[in-house]
Chain A
């Protein structure tokens, strides 16, 4: 015992050796406490799906290639659609292996989709809106699978849906079945913490709120990854992430604040990696309630906001200007930004709407500091046209309760893209033909009681259109309508930003952050 104590004392007093991360290990400091479950049928949060992306594979890979997001072959080497646009046939890659050593076959694809549809967890709507029933997925032979959709869908939609890492990740059916029980026939409990994937890394350890360790899978079909091991260490506080990066204890700081990222732009030894994020920061006005039931009032608000103050003052430039709901870089984006701060014009519109004296309105925001800052800026901007904004802060659980029940009047919020097709945005932002509970899509347009059956029909038609150019024109039209009539003020598209040590090479951030791949990342020192 005395020896142990002596050893502890000596070691504790000794200066800790500087531990430089080994060359073949990538250390990422990140806030990992969002991860609560690693069953791909259930994961829906961006950071959890980012982890899933590294050790599972899907039929299609949604990757960033030369500035564009494209669908590339994943476990499926090729695919084609039937003439009626209803049946998609996927040809699987031969020789792709699960981490267990088994080859990936059509049976695994059918099992994975059936499993996700049967478990019916929250994100399943992404698949079930087009493929609601497991019987619509059929095995043609060991290496061929057909998926029938309930309506014709464009190629980018089906590719981005079956490429969705999570519900459409392909699991090792034999391995999962071996852990099924009578009460848990889909082995949900087991898969929460275990790996049944075929991706470029293998899940070795997940200790909640501590770390996630992934080791390279040497038999990955596209070749082994650039680093042998990735360790995600939980460092929730951005300032602590910065210190660890500066000390060289981590290679990548994942959650720095924009003002911290700026400090590295000219700092030797570090690289700032940033790119557009397919998400939107916006103000919502409930078009079912006065005064926002008047389109002129909504237009007046759009002319009263100081967009630059929000982008450069609050977001410190970590944002792309944009006023349409399909962000820049995404198929169908309409690059129109007509609005800027014009107090006179805003006042004139208000007067025309019958509110020359302004009005008083409550604005809801979550307690997130950035949203509160935006709300404060909007309050100051609208005061200049006679509108008195009273800000009410609340935790997310209360905020979304009111928003989902259409009980708000005015609020600030954000939205991310669920799958890499404009359909994922057109439906929430522009699909609403009735404000009742019978509406098939009860997302943003519905929550803001913005009824526009003509645009809704256009959203439906655009999803079915197989001609890409016609489809692009349809989405541009939808955005144009929403831009001037809709219940939103689109403020900006945030940027994804991380800072790495300069020895880290090959990291490209996908605009849908969860699709970012660490497979091509390597370290030079």
Chain B
């Protein structure tokens, strides 16, 4: 097992190197002038030249690449052209907000998605099954941007049940930044009012982002459960007189889990992508917006940094899912 993990980690490093190299060159061969765009349409050419020189962008591309690799080995992702801060610092600044949002959305997605999927598989063709399928289709097809605005309109503007955009009320001081995760920082500071305010602010963006996952998890759960529920051993279990709930949860669900775990793993990593629009609508200070700005302005270092980071998240989630397979199904052995 350990050998397997070590091999996977080496592969992961190779994947990261590949992603880095491709992104590095693609970003630089696009006929564009990010420095000129970042300094604005009115910056005179001399100022752009000076800035390019300052950032080392006037060197040959292979020199920039070698230099970048050496910096990367020291854990330095370079300086963002746009924010003028180290990319690593930017990621550390903005990732916690996205991670908290994505994890909450993920929890909503898993709990709701699996529940809806199981129920509709147990009652196929019934009203509840149709209703849950409509729920799933709406979730998959409704753009996060639109859903977010509708939620704001309903629960913030009309009903006033939930707070508006942002993570905290404007007047509330932010707990001292220790981890960057507002939930954890509020806990560490014993700042209960910040904590509860934050949780209230989290509801709508988390649900907006979570609904997409709910939909896809519900669909795969339903399909997988239906297949398992048709198996002979389920009939046997029922004939033995086991309670239906026991049949569904212990015998069917556990065996239907593998494909669900695959989807769940992919959803977790892809929440980062979905976060972009949700973060914009709900003024969430996360990495999604940072990534979008970086890509649109072809901010070389930030683009490569975000790509490496996202690739790492994907690779990590995939590894975790694979390891989970072995745990859930003892027949799977990694050597």
Contact = CB atoms under 8 A, between A and B. Distances in A.
Interface of A: 4, 7-8, 11-12, 15-16, 18-19, 21-22, 25, 27, 33, 36-37, 42, 44-45, 120-125, 192, 207-211, 231, 233-237, 239-240, 243-244, 246-247, 249-250, 395-404, 413-416, 418, 428, 441-443
Contact of A234 (B51, B163, B285): B285
B241 to A, nearest CB: 39
18 contacts: A11-B192, A11-B193, A21-B171, A44-B43, A124-B47, A125-B44, A125-B46, A208-B285, A209-B94, A236-B289, A239-B152, A240-B165, A240-B282, A243-B156, A397-B36, A401-B37, A404-B45, A414-B41
A240 B36 contact: no
Interface string B139-161: 00000000001001100110011
Nearest to A7: B192
A418 B40 CA distance: 11
Contacts of A397: 30, 32-34, 36-38, 297-298
8 shortest interchain CB distances as A-B pairs: A11-B196, A401-B33, A397-B32, A209-B285, A397-B37, A122-B47, A398-B32, A396-B37
A12 B162 CA distance: 9
A416 B170 CA distance: 32
Contact of A122 (B51, B163, B195): B51
B36 A247 contact: no
B293 interface: yes
Given A211-B170, A396-B297, A16 B84 contact: no
A15 B159 CA distance: 10
B42 interface: yes
B7 to A, nearest CB: 39
B333 interface: no
Most buried by A among B43, B50, B82: B43
B280 A237 contact: yes
B199 interface: yes
A398 B298 CA distance: 9
A418 to B, nearest CB: 6
A234 B174 CA distance: 15
Given A125-B47, A243-B152, A16 B32 contact: no
Contacts of A211: 166, 170
Contacts, number: 173
Given A236-B289, A239-B149, 7 more contacts: A16-B162, A36-B83, A123-B43, A192-B84, A236-B280, A398-B30, A443-B42
Most buried by B among A7, A16, A395, A418: A16
A16 B198 CA distance: 12
Nearest to A207: B174
Contacts of A237: 149, 165, 280-281, 283
Is chain A's binding surface mostly helix, strand, loop or mixed? mixed
B296 A249 contact: no
A404 B40 CA distance: 12
Nearest to B286: A209
B166 A247 contact: no
A234 B166 contact: yes
B104 interface: no
A437 B38 CA distance: 22
A16 B83 contact: no
B164 A243 contact: yes
A401 B285 contact: no
Nearest to B169: A19
B31 A398 contact: yes
B224 interface: no
A443 B192 CA distance: 55
A90 to B, nearest CB: 26
A428 B42 contact: yes
Interface in B36-77: 36-48, 50-51
A262 B39 CA distance: 33
B167 interface: yes
Contacts of A415: 41-42
Contact of A44 (B40, B46, B152, B195): B40
A243 B84 contact: no
A332 B54 CA distance: 38
Contact of A33 (B42, B43, B161, B293): B293
A399 B39 CA distance: 13
A246 B153 CA distance: 11
Most buried by A among B36, B83, B169, B174: B36
Nearest to A210: B285
A395 B289 contact: no
B93 A208 contact: yes
A4 B171 contact: no
Given A33-B293, A397-B36, A8 B199 contact: yes
Contacts of A234: 166, 283, 285
A514 to B, nearest CB: 12
Given A7-B196, A16-B200, A36 B164 contact: no
Given A7-B192, A237-B281, A416 B32 contact: no
Contact of A247 (B85, B161, B164, B193): B164
A362 to B, nearest CB: 15
B160 A15 contact: yes
A402 B37 CA distance: 11
A27 B166 CA distance: 13
B281 A240 contact: yes
A395 B285 contact: no
A449 B296 CA distance: 28
B164 A240 contact: yes
B157 A243 contact: yes
B283 A243 contact: no
Nearest to B46: A125
Given A11-B196, A236-B283, A400-B37, A247 B157 contact: yes
A510 to B, nearest CB: 18
A23 to B, nearest CB: 13
